[in-house]
A and B are shown apart, each in its own frame.
Chain A
Amino acid sequence: MCEVGEDYRAPAGQPPPRPGREQKCVKCKEGLPVVVIRAGDAFCRDCFKAFYVHKFRAVLGKNRLIFPGEKVLLAWSGGPSSSSMLWQVLEGLSRDSAKRLRFVPGVVYADEGAACGQSPEDRAKTVAEAKAGLAERRLPVVFSLPPSVLRCSAREPVGTEGAYKAAVDSFLQQQHALGEEQQSLPCPPRPPIRAGPPTAGQTEALSTLFSSVETLTAKEELLRTLRTHLILHVARTHGYSKVMMGDSCTRLAIKLMTSLALGRGPSSWSAGFSDERHGDVVVVRPMREHTLKEVAFYNRLFAVPSVFTPAVDTKAPEKASIHRLMEAFILRLQAQFPSTVSTVYRTSEKLVKAPRDGCAAGTPGPRCLLCMCVLDVDTADSATAFGAQTSSQLPQTQPPVAQAEAPTVSCCCTGMGAALSAFCSCREEDPRARVIEQLCYGCRVNMKDLPSLDPLPPYILAEAQLRSQRAEAEQIQEYLLEDREDEDARPGES
């Protein structure tokens, strides 16, 4: 492969020599090898297990983010990687030695059947299977269902606000942030550990939302966003300060390339070890050094149970969405150039999102409503802003309200308006514009596939309303005179 810095090796036509029958395990040199990882590294069963477990522990230990006694939520999707992660955690906890893992785990499983169009009976079956799989684990299990996200309309905006404050105030002291966060939130009544089945109305609301999305790409992105929100919400209400996601190396490489193609940039947030976008709850990825191949081998050799849950893109053709395309492409390329996945993965570690020109490192800008990334809105003279303008300057695609605006700065309704759009007259008339201008580039492109923002969960719309009111209040703040009798007190201001 034309990889940068690649050593001169044998011509690409010849595959690496396959291990013969007489070959021993490369590590202990004694046992018979049962599995071949990478090119030609044959391991025996015990060495493989040791290698696998060691990698898991090393990732956790090197980063030192998980403190002893901390409550950690394990996000389990039923798939092989997260099942493997769950298994590792359980094994790690049960060791009777000083090397025991010392945090307090809980498991969350999000049932996404409604989004995928599964009938309630199928979903109940899947949930029962999942429960059975975990029955003997004796872990507190939270089965949360996406419609409950629609239910917590009053709570979620406060949660997001609390997180933002926590992010600004107590960046480094994560444990203290947990304490503050729990005190500052108005204590909601805790939902029962096993939430009841969702009402038909909520299920229908969710299906309406997902069927109104036009492309599979936007559907997957929306589902991902909602799932993240849900897991965070569960973590916050139950007092978990860390969430562990089971993304493997292969999955992360695909995610990286996908987010590049979706306009989210190198997205070191979603692929690094720790994701601190959400302030009080930190998302960590302990499986990030394991390739999918290793996970599969381990699960098979050591009988790790996993549950198959159909997803939005199950049985979808390869070209249906960007995610599928990228997955197929990378896996195909990996077959030809075995170092593809690790190269992409290592490259992402070297790159970061560039700060806006001259922006001080300490002051975080406004954050995207959906994905919590810093807003990377293009100013009017940036290259892609111009490219987007020429493509969106179009009477047909813009709503008629926006047509009156100056064509040089494209209106916030469909384009990438800058702060100037805050004073745009169409904003008050168009609630969609109000939401769109609080999103980052990647989320905006997704929203284009959503013809109407009404089916979005009420907590998102409420938070958008809150933020724009707050922004308005800040803008007029400097003009307000400090006169007690005439103090402008608009109702509903924070």
Chain B
Amino acid sequence: MPAPQCASCRKARAALRRPRSGQALCGTCFCAAFEAEVLHTVVAGRLLPPGAVVAVGASGGKDSTVLAHVLRELAPRLAISLHLVAVDEGIGGYRDAALAAVRRQAARWELPLTVVAYAELFGGWTMDAVARSTAGSGRSRSCCTFCGVLRRRALEEGARRVGATHVVTGHNADDMAETVLMNFLRGDAGRLARGGGLGSPGEGGALPRCRPLQLASQKEVVLYAHFRRLDYFSEECVYAPEAFRGHARELLKLLEAARPSAVLDLVHSAERLALAPAARPPPPGACSRCGALASRALCQACALLDGLNRGRPRLAIGKGRGGLDEEGPPGRRGSQPSGPPASEPIPGF
């Protein structure tokens, strides 16, 4: 049976069906619709005002590639300028190939590229070294925690170097839904309450961040990359199998099979979460070392690095963080009140 006609231009043959609505569209119309939706998201949410210098977090993967491409198409209409910022976490065999892809993209699109490396920013610690350190103490799973916190710090730093006013990342709707599930399973009430909405305005000196692709489903992102013939790096991180997010991802896939609107429903639920008055944390202050937003004396990034440097990588992950503030021999002083987790320097996702 021949493919039906495109529902939009009615001239070409349809080449795909949109996952959410089942509409049959040809390649060009689909890409146009996708771009229009991203434009609407940005405009309706007032995410990127005209004249903004936007740092795009580019990892070489499909989401950031699509994001960079779409924003590049929309840049004249939005009156923004783009810079690519890539973060080199120092994961051998994975990050090098991804960075090569980013370099190719930057060359093809003629966008300025800045690469920031963990080794340079964080005193020689690469993710491989962190993984070795945490593996030595028995729990290599926590290296994803390090990577997430440090990467946001690195992205912020890279954005500052290029003089950006906004930071954008390529998180899509599926990522948001997974995060909600994951945070619920982990018991992270603080992040659940902060996570809804289209991005953070940037508190305590951090740059405003947003996620223009937040409403696009992952399948559509892949389809877009396919139709625009974008070159991206599609392998999984070496440490990903150990991450807890894998469970949430598996659950989401199952939910989506049972009910296609599950992703949207989760995002809707997430929009309406707020902390009960009793559980609200005290207003955050500033980190004593780097000045970023922190709910304790040290922000999460500084605390993690501190733990690594002292040879006790799990120092900042867990309840008893009494040993963080002193320079002397680490000793767990009494127990911290077990309240909500320490906030990240940058409001979390």
Bound together: yes
Residue of B nearest to A258 (CB): B255
B100 at the interface (CB under 8 A from A): no
B16 at the interface (CB under 8 A from A): no
Q: Decide: B21 and A393 in contact? CB cutoff 8 A.
A: yes
B233 at the interface (CB under 8 A from A): no
B218 at the interface (CB under 8 A from A): no
Q: Decide: B215 and A383 in contact? CB cutoff 8 A.
A: yes
A397 at the interface (CB under 8 A from B): yes
B127 at the interface (CB under 8 A from A): no
A260-B181, A445-B261 known; A322 vs B255 contact (CB < 8 Å) = yes
A1-9, A74-82, A123-131: which lies at the B interface?
A1-9
**Chain B 43-60 interface 0/1 with A at a Cβ cutoff of 8 Å (1 = within):** 011000000000000000
A325-B254, A391-B20, A391-B21 known; A386 vs B41 contact (CB < 8 Å) = yes
Residues of A within 8 A of B181 (CB): 257, 260-261
Q: Decide: B185 and A344 in contact? CB cutoff 8 A.
A: yes
Q: Decide: A2 and B264 in contact? CB cutoff 8 A.
A: no
A136 at the interface (CB under 8 A from B): no
Residue of B nearest to A6 (CB): B318
Residues of B within 8 A of A349 (CB): 276, 279
Determine how close the nearest CB of chain A comes to the CB of B225; give it in whole angstroms: 19
B288 at the interface (CB under 8 A from A): no
A1-B244, A261-B262 known; A347 vs B189 contact (CB < 8 Å) = yes
Residues of B within 8 A of A333 (CB): 185, 247
B173 at the interface (CB under 8 A from A): yes
Q: Which of A343, A350, A395 contacts B279 (CB 8 A)?
A: A350
Residues of A within 8 A of B1 (CB): none
A-B contact count (CB 8 A): 187
Q: Decide: B265 and A263 in contact? CB cutoff 8 A.
A: yes
Cα distance A208–B139 in the bound complex, in angstroms: 55
A217 at the interface (CB under 8 A from B): yes
Q: Decide: B274 and A351 in contact? CB cutoff 8 A.
A: yes
**Chain B 244-283 interface 0/1 with A at a Cβ cutoff of 8 Å (1 = within):** 1001001100110111011011111101111110110000
B188 at the interface (CB under 8 A from A): yes
Residues of B within 8 A of A261 (CB): 181, 255, 259, 262, 265-266, 269
Cα distance A4–B340 in the bound complex, in angstroms: 8
Residue of A nearest to B197 (CB): A383
A-B contact pairs, 16 of them (CB 8 A): A4-B188, A6-B317, A8-B139, A11-B138, A12-B139, A215-B258, A263-B264, A263-B266, A322-B258, A326-B255, A350-B340, A386-B37, A386-B40, A390-B37, A391-B264, A397-B22
Q: Give me the interface of A with B, judged by CB distance under 8 Å.
A: 1-8, 10-12, 215, 217, 256-257, 259-266, 319-322, 325-326, 329, 333, 340, 343-344, 346-347, 349-355, 376, 378, 381-384, 386-388, 390-397, 441-442, 445, 448
In the A-B complex, the 5 residue pairs with the closest CB atoms: A263-B265, A354-B274, A391-B20, A350-B279, A11-B138
